[in-house]
Amino acid sequence: MPHSPSRYNPRWEVAEQVAEVVRRRYGSQVRAIGVHGSLAHGDDHDGSDIDLVVVTRQPGSGPRPATRRISGVIVDLVAISGEEYLRHARTLTTSWPLAADQYLTTAAIVDPDNWYGLLRDTHLGRLAVADPAEFATLAREAWCRAAAANDKARRLAEWYDTDAAMLVLGEARLGAALVEGLLSRTYFRNSADAVRRTRVAAEDVMTLGERLAAQARELARRGRPVDGEVADLLA
């Protein structure tokens, strides 16, 4: 079952207000409404936003995606059909280390049929049948993107485009963190949590390059080398 943080704070009050309006307006179209992120984990603070998901019974029904500030709190509202949400939960991608948290840790505001329990069980079931090679393949894809970003950051730095280099370096750090998460089957709360827990947040281009080289060696050891031939690309 999702963790149930205390509702007695302004962000929960706003989340419940939005949920009540959604229920009144869309009625039977709504299957469940919940929040993920810091509010679901119970460690939100005055600067936290609200990630609110409306699960609908039919595709295309429910509210349109929107982001607004309400009573001083940023609310990010998303609507998705239950069928599509479960399909996402059954699909592993290179962003799995950032996506898994919302499948596994959602606090329900409206959930009469324990739909979020089904979402969690569906994702756990998918993880149970995923073999190491599948995660290694995803890690290789994430590695290629991270390596490309790190190379671009290095070139920008050589051209003294420092601001752009730092921006791209941030992308490379996150990419390397995703590789670490995929190799270890570890998911993170968000991007900041990913780079912090994998200790790449402060790595410069050269140090990150060394980490990527070590990751490439590990991928080769697991039978998913980053280097290959044209036939390998098209396999």
Residues 119 and 136 in one domain: no
Domain housing 192: 132-224
The H or E element that residue 167 is part of is helix 162-184
Q: Which residues pair with 52 in a beta bridge?
A: 35, 77
pLDDT digits (tens, 9 = 90+) for 20-48: 999 999 999 999 999 999 999 999 999 89
CATH of the domain at 86: 3.30.460.10
Residues 155 and 87 in one domain: no
Residues 113 and 25 in one domain: yes
- The encoded tokens of residue 22 equal 């959604």
pLDDT digits (tens, 9 = 90+) for 199-224: 999 999 999 999 999 999 999 999 99
pTM for this structure?
0.93
Q: What is the pLDDT of residue 166?
A: 97
Number of domains in the chain: 2
* C-alpha to C-alpha distance for 226 and 223, rounded to whole angstroms: 10
Of the three residues 129, 154, 174, the one that is the final residue of a domain is: 129
- The encoded tokens of residue 190 equal 């968000």
Question: What is the DSSP pairing of strand 73-81 with strand 50-56?
Answer: parallel
Crossing angle between the packed helical segments 96-104 and 82-89, to the nearest 10 degrees: 130
Q: Please report which confidence band the pLDDT of residue 55 belongs to, taking 50, 70 and 90 as the band edges.
A: very high
Of the three residues 96, 129, 162, the one that is the final residue of a domain is: 129
